[in-house]
Amino acid sequence: MSWTRRPLTVLAVCALLAGVAGCGSGDTPGGGTTPTPAGRLLEDRDKEGRPYREVEAEDAPDVGVEVQPGRSGGWDVRLTVRNFRFSPAGAAARAVAGRGLAHLYVDGRLVARLRAPGHRLAAGLVPRGTHHVTARLYADDGTVWAVDGRPVESTADITASGPAPGATPSAAARRGWGRLW
């Protein structure tokens, strides 16, 4: 009967330690759990009122943003991330180290929430002139990933040129509607 005691003992230990170790039911590879919450909350907040979640620089997520004119108008945005994974839609609203989504801003105005590294900006969101396109990383609980009290973000400056007053669309197309500077 010793073979029945061992599973019962393991089950009893799992029941006692469920809150501490999770007995292999967590999200991390190998079945362990991730300490929650990840990082520590700061009193600083972004313009939308979301608190910053401070993490150590060596383990911090990082993001780069590249914006190029699209072939049929608009702009192609490509994010490059390090120490970060995009969470799928419907992910639990909790902070897990190195996971979440990116918010995309044009001139400080939120235009998209991204759960993948690629996005297409409509031409109308970037009128004639120079603009700042910023990608900022957020945890799934809505907090802003931060290092040294500053949000983890990257900004690309782009200049969109439009038609001169009275120009025909074909002339404007020959000059080019947008450029990455």
Residue 26: what pLDDT?
39
pLDDT tens-place string over residues 86-105: 999 999 999 999 999 999 99
pLDDT tens-place string over residues 126-171: 999 999 999 999 999 999 999 999 999 999 999 998 654 443 343 3
Parallel, antiparallel, or unpaired for β 99-106 and 85-86?
A: parallel
Q: Which helix (H) or strand (E) holds 172?
A: helix 169-175
User: Burial of 79 by CB count in 10 Å (0-12 exposed, 13-18 middle, 19+ buried)?
Assistant: buried
pLDDT tens-place string over residues 36-80: 458 999 999 999 999 999 999 998 999 999 999 998 889 999 999
- Tell me the CATH class for 41-180: mainly beta
- Where are the CATH 2.60.40 domain residues in the chain? 41-180
Cis peptide before 37 (omega within 30 of 0): yes
Parallel, antiparallel, or unpaired for β 51-54 and 144-147?
A: parallel
With CA atoms as reference, report the closest residue to 176 among 155, 154, 161, 156: 161
The residue among 114 and 33 whose pLDDT is bigger is 114
